[in-house]
Structure 1
């Protein structure tokens, strides 16, 4: 089957589908119509802009420019991960950025250069889309794990401090909070993998099939990106929780819970 090119009139038809959400919001008085329209407008503008940027980038294929775009994407993901949490502490943005950079860049490069074996490895047609999918899922894991860890420390503060006063190390006293946070960060990826192919057809696989790839080849690519996402999400969640643990405890086995605060509105 030939690839079907979508023109702007067809896109307008797709945009009109959001009117279903708007009508439901007005009918049920949900008050979401303004948010829906703003979100829709932002999404369309952002996707069109990135489409033009990627076309320009694919034509240039400059390794330094590709890496610059990748770093910008990672920086935005690091900030976005923190912005989804309900609390802050000093250096939280830097720690999030470090977690995003190491986890996503390591797994993306292993996938592109070691598994798919793209030549050259910085080919933006492969590197940028794969990195984007990995970043999107990694920042979700990081934000969930980080928020859960900070929430756990506040809820179980007295229990942790009691354990510390009885001679437990900071690792022993907070081990339960750490493992709970890491588990929370990994749950969305595990849930997605559980129903993949039965309930949901993943985006990368669907996109390749629509672009003309055979279903089996599309499945192979989806397997690669799914395991890459799972690995990066787990690694990123582990890193941010441990970095937050270092920031909120001391080598003298004390809690620095006073550092936690709600973001200023």
Structure 2
């Protein structure tokens, strides 16, 4: 695909609407407010305001902006908690659940729920979910949170996450959250791999056919590896959310200083 109009993209936002707003400002300054964008998933968890992030994304979509989105593993965990009350995912080898502070589900719930009577086992209230989590029960408290989430998380947010595809194909670019299993046809890829894969993907140095543009594995900054580009620059861990732009056949990152080439080593 010889892009005639630049396409902008951002990696994992993880509940930081302020960082999203800054990234959108950078995109608007470079390509205009109606610039086409791809969002690579993990809109929720860890940060202080997942609700605010989803509010902005849903509003942009509903306003007709040329925005496309793919599903992230954290978005699926959030959805499964709200719709099923599930806190475990088989791909988490540590056994930690979504409500463990390392996964950040408690921070997401804190941005949505009003439960003044909730009491954490530590003796705190709902605000302790962000720092202490609720990884090992009690089951009754987890069920209380799931029931409150079903009632208080807006249906527009649930519907939005349920609508997200696992990947987007743009001829010579494949946009996906985590990556894909080398040697497996795209139509036969496992959903869990598309959302979670690292081993077998990150060390693969041959061509995937299209250039794979993904997030999920955080680095200090977006990085071009030749056969793939990782756009998760660690916004969940204190770094800014850095947009990238695909213009013609060239890639750049954006900052207040403008464009910086994003090239393979």
TM-score by length of 1: 0.21
TM-score by length of 2: 0.21
Greater fraction of residues in strand: 2
Greater fraction of residues in helix: 1
Larger Rg computed on CA atoms? 1
